[in-house]
Structure formats: C-alpha cells, structure tokens
Structure 1
C-alpha cells in the first residue's frame, strides 16, 4: 500500500502541552504504524517548531521528503480547548507555512504513484495551497476528501468543487447536515441527505462518522452501518483521523463494508480513549478490542 496526504502539519497546543497534529498527518502517521508506505505533502516554517515537527514526523515512519521549508511563514501552532467531555475546539492562526504549499515535480510524481491521495478542506483556505491541490488531484488514482469544517476557514463553492473531484467523501454527521442544507437539500433524514450529497457530487463512496455511535458507509446506493463502541473518552483529537486511516487500510485490502467499518470504528474508539491524536495503538490491541474473547 502507498498512501499520500496533502495538507496541514502543525502543533496542537493542548492544556497538557504541544503534540504533533493536523488531520492529513494524523491519517498517514496511523497508516505508517501499520507498515504502509506513507508520505505527506506540506510545508513548515524555518524555525525551532518546524525542526522538531520534522523530527517527530520522521520518527513515525512518515516520509518528510515532500514537506517544504518556508523562510517567511511560521510553523503552524493551533490552540486546542477541550470541554468536559473531551470534545475539542480549535483556534487556527492564519496565515502559516502550510497555507503556501508550492507545486513541484516530486509531489506530482508521488501522487501519481500512490494508491490513495487524502486531502482536507482546511488547506484550501489559501489560494496558494488550493491551486497546488487542484493541480495534484487529476494525477491521483483514488481521491479521498476528508471534510473538516473549521469556521471561518472554508468557502462553500470550494468545498463543493473538492467534493465533486473526490472518489470518497468523509464527513461527520453535523457536517453532513450543514453542507446538505447549504447546498439546497430539502431532506431531514440522514439517509436522504447522504443520497442527496452522492447525487450532487456524483460520488460512489461516502463515509459518515457518528462519534460514539459508530459510522455509516454509503457505497453505490447502499448504506452500511456500525453502531460503535463504548469507551471512556480522554480526548477526541485525532479520533476521526484514525478512523479514516483504519477505513483506508481495510478498503485497500478489499475488505467487505462491515469489516471496514468494524476495524475503523474500533481504531477511532481506542484513540479517543487515549491522550493525543497519534497515541500508540497496536494491531493486536485493535483485534483484541473487537473480539475480547477470541
């Protein structure tokens, strides 16, 4: 398996201290822990935060060859606030280094050679990184759009175009309802709104995460469901990213929808029960979590 992602690399400034973050990075870091050839196309500042960021990314076996160094913009630092239930809100400074990702031949070659390209909505907030992404997308074999709505850092017309280019769209339930309504859906049920988005974007694969209640996977007109796992939540930072990594891992193995969702939901739940987006989770831990008596 060879997976690349495009987008933000940053420090999440949590109450407990700074931890490595950024949804595109979290996804490939988790995949790398399963032995996947993982790389990220991004940009950090020429500063101490950038040096440490590169060191820690490399330590997670994610290639840093396509992380550019910016002489002007600083490495991204995001202030994260957690509520009583561990849910996070984010203060994302603009501009920062990953807003200025430049196009180069190495990135084009890596995307063309990858099984999957993962990209998110946050990196499209700046015209420079958005233009680079739009040039990379046609080179990708399979495109996964990981929607992460962080107001005010998105525009509806850019989101719709990115959704139309995707082979698989991943959203949470709140994002589904928000975008469906914004794009003119007359429907109130989740199933109808998923179908509305599928018809609007001509997308055959849509994944909806439901927090502790599991996830739905729409594939070519049929909706598959997993109802989730009960865990004591420490923080939700990166849980959805690990869910997506688990989804991609099983999807590329050609697993059945129910098995894809089971594995992805288990991985996301385990990450939510630990501190930080890239907390260690072994394959044995996941399998034991799914089948404790196996």
Structure 2
C-alpha cells in the first residue's frame, strides 16, 4: 500500500464488480479503514455490507442505514444507542458515527458516546454535508482527537457547508479554521 494512514471507501462504489474488486483488493493492509456506508436504492448486497463492516475501523452511517443494519444483522428491536453499540461491537469497529440530520450526530468509541447538535440554521443546500463531516471525522480520527472535539468540529464544518450553495466553497478561505487545528 502506498504511504497512507487511512483508506476511505463506501458501498456505493462497490456496486460495479470491477470497482468492487479494486476496492476489496486494498483490504488487509496495515492501515485504518474508514467506511462511509452510503446505502442507495438497490446498489448493495448483505455480503458487500458485511465485508465492508468487517474491514472498517471507522464507520459513518446515517440513522436510516443504522435501521437497515439492525434489520440485517441484529435480532433486537431498533434503538439508536443500543443498536449502535451492538453493531460497533459485532464488527469490532473502533469509531462509529451515526448522523441524524438536523438532530445532530452520535459518535461511539470504546465506552464513550457523544451527541452533538449544531445550532439550528436554515440550510441553503445540504449537498456535500455528509462528505464534509466525513472528511473532518477522518482527519480527527487519524490525529487522535477525543470524541467530543471530533464530533463538534466535524458537525460545525458540515453546518458551514450547508450554509453555502453547492458542496464546495468558492475560496480556500473557507478552510482557514480547519487548517489551524
């Protein structure tokens, strides 16, 4: 594997057999694996999800995806915290993130749970918010941030993204605060 600390991947990119084989060929190296599940339509199988979860050190999902995982892999009634803990433990995931839209996000690591809900604003465009959150989550995870810092910085950055049109800021000035961390 090239000089990298973490491989970011998802299930959506694995819907094509060629890209799935390419992604899965990168598994089993001595790096961290960050899975952004991204369940969309019928572009997934239980087997692809299971292999992705078994490989993941970090898992980012939304609440709908957590409900799906609960139905696929757990035999209990859905509960956000309980189901999150069970999925984290079942697949030996180091850091689990559940995003809940305007209700904030939950991070679980070891026996710690953090919930962060950014200040309420009227979003302009939500495209890119999940990816923005995931990018900061990955940086913070690799940098060893505690989960409170990690969740608040990632959430606040995603909140800034939803306050602009489109997923990408027009200037690099947007990233100044992140660069100082």
With structure 1 as the length reference, what TM-score do the two structures score? 0.57
Within 5 Å, give how 1:265-284 maps onto structure 2.
265-280=155-170, 281-284=174-177
Shift of 1:272: 1.1
1:225 aligns with 2:115: yes
Match of 1:200 in 2: 90
**More strand per residue:** 1
Give the corresponding residue for 1:251: 141
Give the 3 Å change call, closer, same or farther, for CA 256–184 of structure 1 in structure 2: closer
Cα distance, 1:140 vs. partner? 4.9
Among residues 38, 47, 50, which one is paired with 1:160 in the alignment?
50
Aligned CA distance change for structure 1 residues 277 and 185 (closer, same or farther; 3 Å): farther
Partner of 1:210: 100
Aligned residues: 176
Give a deviation string over 1:186-243, Cα, whole Å, max 9, x none.
1321111001211221212111111122111110132111122322211211101001
> When the two structures are superposed, what TM-score results if normalisation uses the length of structure 2?
0.90
Q: Following TM superposition, by how much is the alpha carbon of 1:180 offset from its aligned partner in structure 2, in angstroms?
A: 1.1
Any conservation in 1 of the 2:140–2:150 contact (CA below 8 Å)? yes
Say which structure is richer in helix. Answer: 2
Is the 1:229–1:265 contact (alpha carbons within 8 Å) kept by the matching residues of 2? no
Gaps (5+ residues) in structure 2? none
Name 2:41's counterpart in structure 1.
151
Structure 1 vs Structure 2 CA RMSD: 1.7
| Cα separation, 2, equivalents of 1:235 and 1:224 | 26
* Structure with larger Rg: 1
- CA distance in 1 between partners of 2:159 and 2:103 (Å): 10
Provide structure 1 residue ranges, at least 5 long, that are not aligned to the other structure: 1-108, 288-294
